[in-house]
Structure 1
């Protein structure tokens, strides 16, 4: 009983501290310590026999294990995003989409621009920073309430693209290691779910905006609003080619190299961006340096959460919780989806939720004979639902740091589109897989 209190209390404390702005590198181990102490776990390796559970050993094993497995992907992904940003390639693609669709389709233009960049492998944070100035300009010209800008950015980035089949985003690649699948696992169902989420989510976003307009809300300019830079930009097709290169290389090598194919794909994207757009760079070396620093921060924050999971999964309460979730009646996919989604939600990280849950859940379900492709796609989609609760790093950064909004004004729309829409999409995926579609 005390162990369960410690587990739930530690997770709740992690959410509270994160929402209050505490650094995850501090909050992660602190909350893991709460779990360990209330579960009676020894604190140091010297206090137990070799291989036995202890706070420091389990936390650092989870932390270092995640870094060892995923640092090359985080590094190259962050560098690719930065060189796309610094060369103007990301801006060029976004601007091209906006110009083609026009002011009347301002919201759709922002969503599509984010979707193209995200599905092409550009970091979610880079996408938000890159598209935001154009979003402000479009919302201003269309006289739309600016509090919906974070929702438009998030919807195009972390819903129907991030966890879909073929996506180079890490949330689609982590399951490969545990299920021996490919990034295209369950693509038939993934396509249906992605189209549903895109159409339904866009309809809902437009409905929310129209209701706000009916109430008299309009765009409010602010001092210091960003301007869309008029610097020379590469041809938009020169910006699209690196995105295509990432997708093509990952497709070619995914069978032979599994998740390591992402390393070659992202490296190919970096090289292609440089070769095609080198005369447009402001400072290529600085872009690589900034990308490297961003990768270190991103993987450290995620690893801090995974380290917390390394302690949590070693206490008795965690095994009890897993038994409950994996014993849910009906399709085994339901238990897996709930487990990953809940852990991702409590930790505020889709990739962290997968890294904590899959080492335990994947062997369990694979031994039961669950279809690996169905499980891969279900887990990927489920990780991108509850992870977008208010304490999620991307949500906090996008709403506050990038858009300058408050959670009270902007999160309602963000939560609807990045939590509820993916949950409905997840339910649709489970139903389709349970009916035998795509397996």
Structure 2
């Protein structure tokens, strides 16, 4: 009982401290210490027999293991995003989409611009920074409440693209290591779910904005609003080509290299972006440095959470929780989806939720004969639901740092589109797989 209190209390403490803006590299070990003490877990390796569970050993094993497995993907992904940003290629693509659709389809233009960049492998944060100035300009011209800009950015980035089949985003690649699948696992169901989430989510976003406008809400300008950059941008085609290169290379090599194909694909994207748009760079080497620093921060934060998970899964309460989740009646996919989604929600990280849950759940479900492709797609979609609770890093950054809004004003719409819509999509995926679609 005390162990369960420690586990739940540690997770709640992690959420609270994260929402207060504390550094995850400090918070995660402290919360792991809380879990270990209440569960009676020894603190140091010297206090147990070789290989025995302990706070420091389990935390660092989880932390270092995640870094060893995913550092190059995080590094190249961050560098690719920064190269696309610094060269103006990301701005060029998003601006072209916005211009083609026009002011009357302002919201749709923003969503599509984010979706194209995200599915092409550009970092979620870079997408938000890149598209926000144009979103602001469009919302101003259309006189729409600016508090819905974070929802439009997030909806286009972290719902029907991030966890879909073929996506180069890390959330679609982590299951490959544990299930021996490909990034295109369960593509038939993924396509149906992605279309549903895109159509339903867009309808809901337009409905929420329409209700706000009917109540008298309008755009409110601010003195510090950024302007759309007037610098010369590359042609949209040369901006799109690196995105296509990433997708093509990952498709060609995913069978032979599995998750390592993403390394080759992102490297190809960086190289093609440089040679196609090199005259437009503000400072290429500074972009590499900024990308490297961003990768270290991103993987450090995720690894810190995975380290916490390494301690959590060593205490008795965790086994009880996993047993309860995997014993849920009905499709085994439901238990896997709930486990990954809950852990992703607790940690505020889709990749962290997968990295913690899959090493334990994957062997269990594979032994049961669960279809690996169905499990891959279900896990990917489920990781992108509760991860977007208010303490999620992307959510906090997009609402506060990029858009300058408050959680009270903007999170309602963000939560509806990035939590509820993916949860409905997850239910649809489980139903379709249970009916044998794509299996």
- Inter-partner Cα distance in structure 1 for 2:402 and 2:49: 49
Which residue number in structure 2 is paired with residue 233 of structure 1? 233
Which residue number in structure 1 is paired with residue 369 of structure 2? 369
Which residue number in structure 2 is paired with residue 199 of structure 1? 199
- Displacement of 1:417 in angstroms is 0.1
Aligned length: 439
2:62 is equivalent to residue 52 of structure 1: no
2:124 is equivalent to residue 124 of structure 1: yes
- Inter-partner Cα distance in structure 2 for 1:102 and 1:130: 18
Which residue number in structure 2 is paired with residue 290 of structure 1? 290
- Aligned ranges for residues 379-398 of structure 1 at < 5 Å? 379-398=379-398
- Inter-partner Cα distance in structure 1 for 2:75 and 2:325: 34
Which residue number in structure 1 is paired with residue 76 of structure 2? 76
Task: Give CA-to-partner distance per residue, 1:5-35, whole Å, 9 cap, x none.
Answer: 0000000000000001110001100000000
Task: Give CA-to-partner distance per residue, 1:76-108, whole Å, 9 cap, x none.
Answer: 000000000000000000000000000000000
- Inter-partner Cα distance in structure 2 for 1:88 and 1:41: 51
- Displacement of 1:224 in angstroms is 1.1
Which residue number in structure 1 is paired with residue 110 of structure 2? 110
- Inter-partner Cα distance in structure 1 for 2:65 and 2:222: 45
Which residue number in structure 1 is paired with residue 244 of structure 2? 244
Which residue number in structure 2 is paired with residue 281 of structure 1? 281
How high is the TM-score relative to the length of structure 1?
Answer: 1.00
How high is the TM-score relative to the length of structure 2?
Answer: 1.00
Which residue number in structure 1 is paired with residue 351 of structure 2? 351
- Tell me, what secondary structure is at the counterpart of 1:168? coil
2:21 is equivalent to residue 21 of structure 1: yes
- Aligned ranges for residues 150-229 of structure 1 at < 5 Å? 150-229=150-229
- Inter-partner Cα distance in structure 2 for 1:149 and 1:308: 33
Which residue number in structure 2 is paired with residue 305 of structure 1? 305
- Tell me, what secondary structure is at the counterpart of 2:122? coil
Q: Could you say what the CA RMSD is over the residues aligned between the two structures, in angstroms?
A: 0.3
**Which 5+ residue runs of structure 2 have no aligned equivalent?**
none
- Tell me, what secondary structure is at the counterpart of 2:224? coil
- Inter-partner Cα distance in structure 2 for 1:289 and 1:177: 29
- Inter-partner Cα distance in structure 2 for 1:229 and 1:250: 32
Which residue number in structure 2 is paired with residue 2 of structure 1? 2
Which residue number in structure 2 is paired with residue 271 of structure 1? 271
Task: Give CA-to-partner distance per residue, 1:281-331, whole Å, 9 cap, x none.
Answer: 000000000000000000000000000000000000000000000000000
- Displacement of 1:230 in angstroms is 1.0
- Inter-partner Cα distance in structure 2 for 1:324 and 1:223: 53
Which residue number in structure 2 is paired with residue 425 of structure 1? 425
